[in-house]
Each structure stands twice: as structure tokens, then as C-alpha cells.
Structure 1
Amino acid sequence: MRRTRGERLTRRRLPSRVAASRARGSVAVSLALLLAGGSAVLVLGQSAGSAVLRLDDVGAWLASGARGIVSHINGPSGRADASVTINGTKGHHLTVAQDGSSVLVTDTDTGRVSRIDPAGLAVTGQQNFGAGVTVVAGAGQAYVIDKPAGRVSRIDPTTLDVLGAPVAFGSPIDSAGMTADGTLWVMLPVQGQLVPVRQGIAGVTVPVGRPGDQLSLTIADGVPVAVDATAPALVPVRDGHPAPELRLPPPAGSGRSLLAAPAVDGQLLPIIVNTTSTMLLADLAAGTVRTVELGSQDPSGQLGAPVVAGGRVYVPDSGKGRLLVYATGPGRFEAPITVTSGAAELTVFVRNGTVWANDQSGSHAVMVRPDGSTQQVEKYTPDVAGSASTTPPRALPRQVVVPPSQAPRNQPPIAVPPQRDTPRVPVTGPSPSPSRPDIQPTVDPTAPSPTATASPTPTPTPTPTPSPTPTPPPGKPAVSVALVGNGPKTTATVTAAATGGLTSTVTLTVTPLNAGETVTSTGPTSYAATLTTCGPRTYTATATGPGGQNTSTVSFGKCPPPGGIHLDQSNYMASLENPDGTRVIQLNWDPPVSVQGETVTDYVISYYNYSGNLVARHVTTQTSDTFNAFPTCDKQNPRDERQPTWTVVARNSSGSGPSDNIGIEDDCRYGGP
């Protein structure tokens, strides 16, 4: 059987003394290959045979929120071989982002992100980013996504420090995903746009739908794809531009949301039409969509986003704790895979070709190998590497890269905490009196053996009473602000998380605040800004509590240009005629629909004659205009079938919106009476 390079390195024996001189060169070559391939074999436990964990193995880290632990499952064996407890997370919802040498665990209830070092099997850093955040990691990059606030922060995946200033988009984020080149793609449904973020800097936005459409994001075969449930359609983005959309058939549409995995390998994208038992299989390469009915599998009403691996589609059915399996080649269902005996919160993902279905709140999981074979996984396994580790951030002992054959057989376990429940004092001489275990008699070894009558009463030496652990001072409350709009329609929601400390008051200020503009509270943590103009503003939320004060600031630049003006035949009147034959044109229109609260400074109306030449251009702040000398045509010598036209464009400080034009139907166009 052919072995991979990693297997040869792991199982290789040391060269014998006879061949030592010959092996020196090959050892150097092997080390070079090892470093070039990014592989490392680390001795982590008590024995070389049971505690070797490769950083690039085919295993996975699975969270157990009920117990507040994260377990590593060995791919070949399907058994837990390491676990780390995340203090303070028991009973919370945990998510895991695993990429290379970093495992980032997010407590979505509190917003605290913990980094697990896979080599040391301990938490090496923690940061609190506010409740509700998620983390996306890959290609050596990591970002904290604050969806309600519409903000992403680039962080160092090793230290969790924030790198540079956060990127604020001005509207909530639906979803975000990362491509292999390290680009983070952020979906903004309110704006109908997808935005690339590279090295913490936002790039050129890509329009992928209409503002306000129900948009989400998936990465298919390394390409970002917008899932538009309103259209309904799929819009791939290639080279920074939207590709032709792939329309989705019913029952998609009609307000139904679409469930797609965050990422799939290959160009087959399975989608669940929510509130139905229908799955759509979109072939992005062929531009076709198949409809698969799941009714024969008796699904529950709690289906999740399906994943693809090994020619099969796996659909999470959390209502029944199982996976529905559809083989795409023959086009038929296979037997469902049971994960738990009842309903469960299933998290399903694919890693290195293996499907992992994890019960977030329980001890069970299932791994499905690329060939379709399954294995039940028990995450709560005692006495595995790291199971005795504590989680407060601390420096790890230096790890040594050693082949398993050279590992010491009696290496102590990692980071066993000292037992502090019962203070101990070294004992010399006879055992203490059973009635006073806290007194230790002192014995002089040069003194003669005492007799029963002459034995002096030893002076008691009380055991020092441990100092009580001081109560830590209250921390500052965590606070964040999420905005919708950027102008007269701006609303703000302030979130004060109790994880940092108790909150007494929450306030919001807006600067600059011009005359006549106000910010009023509309609820315990919501505010409405009544603004007269659109422009640069800074929104500062302040939370005050016993532990102090904390602030969060979001700034916006100029608001977007206005939307387009829609003209139709009912918007004008051209029946008035002057004595010289010219006519009076009266236009009326409605203001453009405001999506983000953008304002309109003025309107530009352009008039064109029968030959298409510009006759006049008016600027007005009203939604109507009159041109009193529009030229007439020579009815005896008509030009051609061209029409007189005019256009209306709305403007503000950020630019002009789309234009719309309309023409006049009259006798001149058709050669007169």
C-alpha cells in the first residue's frame, strides 16, 4: 500500500549506528521536506504512541457548548484524542474556526474569542469583541464579523490583537466568507452589494442585487456567489464583476429564504428552499438547476444548509437528529445517518473531504468518510491529552518537534494545575496527632529518645491560613452600536453586553449635530436620528456601570447618491401652445425612493428637440418644472420619427442618481395632419 509523505515521516525509524554516517544527508533532506511541506509531528502526551497530533491531519475540532469544551477528533480512528476546556462557556453556544496552526473558538453569547494552540492544547489568548460576533478565518487571515453593526475587524490569529481600524459599511452584514487568496467577502443586503476586504481594507463594491433584496453569500469552488432569495437567482462574482445570473425555479421566490452552506467544494451548489421540502441542485458550470423533493425521506421542519462530499449531498435534519443523504450520480436517496436519538442542534461541515455532523449541545457526533462510510463519535472521552489543562491565558512551555520513535516514554502530562483545595505543610518526624491534623511537632534528631513521662509538649505550629481570594473589581461594560441608514432615516441600536461589567446607563451622541437635528431614544437601547442633511457623521455609544465607562464609535462618510427618477406619460403636459407655435412643457415627478436615508439637493432637467440637440437645462429643488418655449417642428417638412425628449436626474453632495427620459407623441413625428 502506498503511503503519503506524512505517513513515512511518522513511521520512520532512526538509522542504526552502522548507517549513521550515510543517514546524515538524508536526515537533512527529510528535514527540509518537512519544513517545506508545513508538516510537524508533536509529542503532546505521555506516550509516543497515543499522543501524536499532526497539525495538518484529517481530524477536526468539535465544540460542546453544554460542557464548555472543544475536542479534537482523530480522522483515521474517529476517536477523541484531545480536549480543551474554555472557562466560563458552559451552557453557551460555541463556534470553531480552524485554520492551520490556529483554532479560534467564539462564545457567541458573550462575544469572547479564545485561541487554542493545537501544539500546547491550551488557551493562549482571549479577547472580548461583543455579543453576537462571529469569526471567519483562512489563508493566514482572521476577521471578527459584527453583523448588526455592519463592521468587520481584522485580527492577528495568533495574538487576537486587532490589526488596523475596523471597516464600517453603514448597514448590517448578512454573511461573510473567505476565498483561498485571503480575501474576505462581505454581503450587504440593504445596499444590494458584495464588498471585498483585503488585508483589512475594503475594495470596490460589486452590485449583486437590488437594494433591500434578501441576499446571502456562499463560496463555491473558490468563487463568491450571491444567493438572492428575492429574485430568486444565483450571481457568481468573477474578477470583481458579477457574472450572468442563474435563475432559480419555484418554489424559490415568494419571500422564501434560501439555505446554502457557507462554502462548497466544486460547482454543485445544493440549496434548501425554506419552509418547503424542496432542495435545488444548481450546477454553476453547466448553468442548470435540478429540483429534488425530500418528501419521501419524511423530513422534519428543521432542515439546515446542505453540504457536498464524495458525490453525495448531506442535508442536516435537526428536528430528527440525522443527515439525509442524496447520491447525485444515480439520483437517489441513501439511508439517513443518525447522529442523535432525537432532535439536536446539528452543525455540519466538510473538512479535507470528510463530513462532520456535530451535536453542539450533546456528546455525540458523526464523521462520514469520503467513501460514504460512517463512524459514531463520542466527544466526552476522559484522560485524553489536554483534558486536565486550564484555560486562563498563559505562556506555553516550548514545544520540541520530535519523531514519535524518539519521544520519551514517561513524559509528564501537559499543564496539570496545582491542587489548591487543601494546603499542605511538609512533615518531619512522627505523624501529627489525629485530633489536630493541622499541628506538626518539631523533632530534634540529636536529642535522646524521649520517654513517656519526660516528653515535652511540642509547641504547635499552626498551618498558615490561606488569604482569601480578593473579589476582582467590576469591569467596564462592553458596548457596540449598529446603524441602519445614513441621513434622515438613520436609526441606531446600542448593545451593552453584561460580560464586561454591569451597565447602569447607555447613551448615544451624534456629531456634528446641526441646528434642528435631534437624536431621541425610542426604546431601552434604540435611537432615532432626525437629520436634515446627508454627510459625514460620528455615532458614539457610551455604556456606564460600576466598573467604569466604555465607548464604541462608528463613523460614516458621505451618503450614497440618490436613486433614479421614474417618468411616464402621466408626468407631463404638452397641450399648451404659444402664439409663435412653441409649446409649454410641464413636468412632474416623485422623489426617488430613499434606501439609506439619502437626501436630494436638487434636480437637473434637460430638454432635447426633435433632432436630439440640447435646447435647455433647468435646475430646481422642486419636484416639477415648466419650459415655456419648447420649439415646435415644421409640420409641412417633418424631420423623421425621432421625438423631443427630456431627462430628470436627482443630485446630492455625493453625486447624481440614474437618469430617466420620456418623449412626446405628436403629429410632427408622423408627418403632420
Structure 2
Amino acid sequence: MRGLRRPTWLRLPSGPAGRAGSALMAVTLLVTVLAVSTGVGYSVARPLLGDGSAFLSRGHTVAHVNGETGKSDAQTAIELATGSEPIQTVRLPDGRVAVVNKTTGTVTILDGSTMAPTGPPMPNPDGGTQLEALATDSSGYLVDKKGGTITELAPPGKPAAPVVSVGTGILDAVPAGDSVWALTSAAQVVEVADGRVRRTVRLGEPVSGITVADGHPVAVTGAGKAYVVDSDRPHAIGDLGVAGSGVVLGSWRGAGRYVLAVDRTSGRVGVLDPRTGRTTRATLPAGPSARLDAPVVLGGDVYVPDYAKPQLWRVDAASGRVGRPLTVPGRQGDAFDLTVSGGHVWANSQYDRRALIVDGDGRDHTADKGAGPDVRDSQSDREPAPTTTPRPGEGPSGPPSPRDSDASTPPDRPSRQKPTPLKAPSVIGLSRQAACRLIGQAKLTCVRRTDATPVVDPDQFAVVSTQDPEPGAVPDGKKVTITYPDRFTVPSVLSQTQGEACARLKAFTMKCQATIGAAATGAHRPGDVYQQTPPAGTEAGEGAVARLVYYSGTGTTHDYKGQSVDTACGQVQADGFACTRKEGATAAGTGQQPGTVYDQDVPPNTRRNIKQPITLTYYSANNTLPSYVGGSPGSACADITARGFTCQKTEQPYPSTDKVEAQDQPAGTYPIGTTVTIHYSPWALVDYWIYQKNDADVWVLRPKGDIPAGYGHQAFHVGLAYKAGENIPAPQAINGFTCTTGPSHCNGLDVNHFYSRIGAYQDWTGPSPAATFMDCGVSGTTPIYRVWKDSGAARLYGITSDPASWGAEDNERLGCVWP
């Protein structure tokens, strides 16, 4: 049986690249293709965040910790938790950091350079522990497992993709490439990208978990069998050798080359290499009180967390050798966060001052996140963390001073902490309100200074042009002075519609008062402004009142049909009316372009008050898609094409012929032109039986009812397969061999038969094509074997699904059939 064709894979640098500010170095991986024997492949493209650092939860805040020095060099000025609430930190590919409060469900997005929020917190009161932030190659996502939704965390100024509802709930989700792969409560794997469900993957057997390995999403069944699911069809890559309800798969936050699984009950570890199909197994000597959880991998080592100690087990991925456990700072029984970032493994207990770092070469050391009233130091038996939020002004607002851990401080005297100087954040280009808010979050005072020079661009009005001191400097008196223009030159809005004119003036913060004036005559249009106060060129400030007078009266409608809705709405507005867009029937089958107007609620040449809107109905760019499962592929493709979609047929073995067994896009509404993939088998099935010779223990393989003369003493069902020579994927050609020349040539019998995948057998007639079986990687099939045994001087041959039956002495696997 042919396996995967292995390309040459690229090794990636795992060491630190240093840190300049907190800029992120993105190292783009070259694309490689893993091809399967049927010609289906998939590509790898995964950027590395390699600045050698990590963003770690630290009490009620988040600290940026350098992996080389083990020191915190920045932390948030705001608190993201209270009491003992846990938070999750995830670095996004654009340098932002998503922080999820796992108790309240509040999500805060931080600027990785300034450690300041990029916007207001996002509440998710029903989320809590069911919320998780994910980072794909190009974006960040928030997964609400309870609500069954996936929401893009788009950068500021960039529109987010629509929220995707999986509907059946989410058991787990992982990022791979630019997609989020979710395991639903219906045991199906769903790919989500670009604000829509791209595909739904069904394995034909229950899926118990999903993980990431070698840059690809991998679904694992309850029996421990692993499938790559981002190729054209799911492909089995091996067996983890670990199964059961206590199994937890490898964490995407530390995904590497291998598929990882740990049995919490027995301590067994399975490591599957998807490139070779080889599985390494190990058993951790953790004991019955261990609390094992999702492992991570760095290089050739697997790291398994044990919260009971707490400690980190290390397993060699190639040999299965278990190394000594590494102690993780923290209290016994407390969970800790385990992730791989910047070429290091980080094991971090949120409410402990210290964290464990394991370098790419396997050396381990501790990180100091800094002292504070909301963290304990388990390595020096300091007081436990408080259960309430410290009052404003308590605790450090930056990295700790070296004197924070001065061992000379008497144990009966409170430790004095030297406050870290507060640095000015960068606020140039922000509105004055946003700038002062950011300065206040840095626990500094915002001082405003205006620039009287008028501006002509509304985007410059009240926007910070300079700041004192510069970003990163320590301000005198804890004050940051911002300068911004507060005067502007009033633009001309004459001959614009009153709506356009008011919108233009409001952009400068002016208050607009528009009144109806004289009736429109001649070339004047209803709604056009013909008088403004103050006039264009006047200097004004925030809140100034603009008074406009525009033409009143009625307008005449036109025929807006047959043009794009954008162009038609522009004409409606030019006629002085408001335009209401209404999506109508699908454009598929009409010969019209989507967006073309085909109806209007007011006939052309109607005199109408300009305040009344015109509704334009246009052809939709979408159409509905039904389910085709159970129907014929030809009819399905004809209907798919008629609906304006592209039909793609995927031929694969099923226990049916010319019947749609699955479709990648479920019933719903999709854009015209969407590719709809249907799965079916075009090959006619043959029901194979074996028939015994009436006077000897000799068997022949035949289609049901095709019984040769002299046979039929006994008959047994083999299964459904295909006719000889059928060109199915990975066909297993079954050849028949016959001998009729007597015992000396026919292995001790006058007449003898056997079936095999070999191509020749001395003195026997054959090979004669007898059947085509399937490759045993097809889900739901049963293996069939040729077995043989010696009975006296005769060699007897049989065909069975149980190679140990019939007293067989040896066997050859012929392939698989549908039972």
C-alpha cells in the first residue's frame, strides 16, 4: 500500500532575534507541499514571532518578559482582573495582544509596543471560561464556545469580517494558516475564514479532538487515529496509540512538527510524526495524583504540564525517553499557562512572581515578572496574593527595581519598593480625547495646549500634532503636554445638497441648521444650498453654528432601472431624494449583473416631495443552496449551475453508486459563483462471494450468483468492491491463479485456486484479473486477507476478514471492501 510522498522539509531558526522596543520580527516560512498518493496535497505557510519574548499574565496585569534576561521590561498600567480571576494572553500577528478575562468574559486588546489598550474593553458576560482568543497567520479571533460564534479581532481602522455562527456549539478550536478550525458538538470539523464557513469536514467516525501539527489542522478520532483535514479530503496519517475519555491533545499555543496526545489517567504520551507516520510512546511516572494537561513541543522535546506539583515533564519526541521534571514556580494544585513564544517554552502561574523559561537548547531558568501586592513569590515564601483589587496608587506601574528583591530587608519590616519612572506614551496623531485618555491610563496628567493656526482638513482638527516630552521620555511633574489645532477655515458648501453640506460642516464639529428657502426654479435643484452663514473662508472654532438655506419644493423622478444600484442611487440623490436600497431576487439565470436595479417604488416622471425616499430593488449577488445529499450527482450539478454556482465533483469510494453522499457547503445562502463541492462514487459496486468446490476444500472468488460448475458446496459473503480493472483511487488489483495439472503442480490437489496481488506463480495459470479492492485508508471499510495452511501434502487457500481464523498459518492482505 502506498503512503505519503515525503518532500524535503525546511528547518526553522528557533533562537531569539532580540528585541528593539517591542517590535515583532515576522519570519515567513516557505511554502511546502505534502502530497498524498492520490495526488491531493496541502501547503504550509506559518510566520514565526521570534523576538525572544512573551506577554505573561502577572497578577491583575500583563508583563512583557525578555526570554534572554528573564526580566520584565514593561507592563500594563491598567488592571485586567480582580481578586484571583484568571486571564489569557495571546499575541496577535500584527503585534497586538488579546487579553481575555476568563471569569468576566471581558476582552481587552493591547498595543504590544505601548502596553496600552487600543480601544475600550469588549464585554462578553456570558463567555467566561468558554471564551478563547486565537491567532492565525494574518489575524486574531475570539472563539465563544458556548455561543458557537467566531469573531475577528480586526486591527483599528480595518473592518472586521462578519461574525460566524457555527450553530451547533464549539468543543474546541485551533488556528492553522489563515483559518480557524472548529470541532463542533456534532463531531464535525468546520473551517472558518473571511467571515464565512469555508468547508465542513466529516470523517465518517466520531471526532474526539482537534490539534495542530506541522502547520496543519489534525482531527483525532476516539480510537486515536489522526487525520489531516485541510487537504482536498481527510487523509489518515497514523495512530497515536493513546485513546479514551481522559486524552488531551497538544495545545496550538505550542504546536510544532508532531501530533501530541496525553492520557491524564494513565500518564501515557503519544507522539506522531505526520511526515513519516511513526509513533513514539512514553509513560510518565507522574503517579495517580497528577493533574496532566495539554502538552506543547519545542524542537525535538515535548513538554507536559502537571498542575499537582506544579511541574513540567519533558519527553524526547524521537526516543520517548522521559527526562527529569522541571519545577514550575507556583503553589501546588494551581493551574499555569503553558505556551511557546520567541523560541522559548514559558510556564507561567498568573499570581506568582516567577515563571519558568525553557530555551530552545533545553536549558531552563526562571523569569522575574516583578514584585507587587497582587502576586506572591513562591520561591521566597512571601505572603499570598490579595483577594481584592489593590487601591489606585498601590503596586508598581512598571517593571520592578532590582532592590525589590533585596535580601537585606528585615523579615519583620514591610519591603519598600522603589517606583519605576513613568514614561510618556506616543499620542501624536490621536484625537485630543484619546490622547488624554491614554496619558491618564499611564498615570500621568494630560495638559492641553491649542494651536491657533486654522486648518482646512477636518481630519487635522483637534488632533495632536506635537507632544512634550517625546514618547518614551520621563515627564517632569508627571505631566504630558499635547498641542492640537482648535481653529479651522469654513469650507464652501454652496450648490451641495443640504445633507452633503451639513455632513461636511459637522466633520469640523460645527452645528448645522438647515432651513427650506425659495422654491427651486430653472437649473436649480431641490435641496441644493444657495446660502451659508458664516461664509466660506471664515475662521471658526469647535461648536460654531452654521446656518444653511436650500431650495425647497418638489422634484421629478426618473427611470432608474437597468443600471447599477450605486449609479441609480446617485441619480436619485441628485434628483433631491433619499435612496433606499432593497435586495431582491437573485441575479442567477436573469442575464443581469448582480446589483442591477429592476424595480422602483415610484414610477418615472412623478412629481414628488423631495423629503420622500425612493426605494430601488436590485438583483442580489447571492442565491440559496439546498442540500443534494441522497440525489444523483448529475442532477445536483445541473441545479448548482442553474443557481449560478460552480459545481465541483469529488469522486471517492462510497458504498453507493452515483449518489451524493456529502457536500462541503451546507444548505444556505452563498454568493453567486461560489464553488460547491459534492462527494460521490461513480463506480458500480460488485457484491463478492466465495464458493467452495463440491468435492474439495478449494474456493473461488466470484460476483454473487456467478457460481462455476462443480462449486457451491458452501458460500460466504466477502463484501462490496469493484470489477477488475476499475480505476478507483489507490486500486488494489486482485489476481486469480488456477492450477488443474494435478497434485504435483497444484500444491497437493488435483485442482486448486488462490487469489493474490502478486503478478506471477510458477506452473499456475494466471494472473487473471478477478476484482478491485480498496486501499484500507478508506473509512468504514473492512480488510480482506488471503490465508493458507497445509493439510497433509495439500496447501489450502481461503479468503477471510479474520486472518487468524480457519487455523491459517500465514496471510496476505488483499485490500479492503465495504462490509
**TM-score with structure 1 setting the length:** 0.49
* Higher relative contact order, chain-length normalized (CA < 8 Å, sep 6+): 1
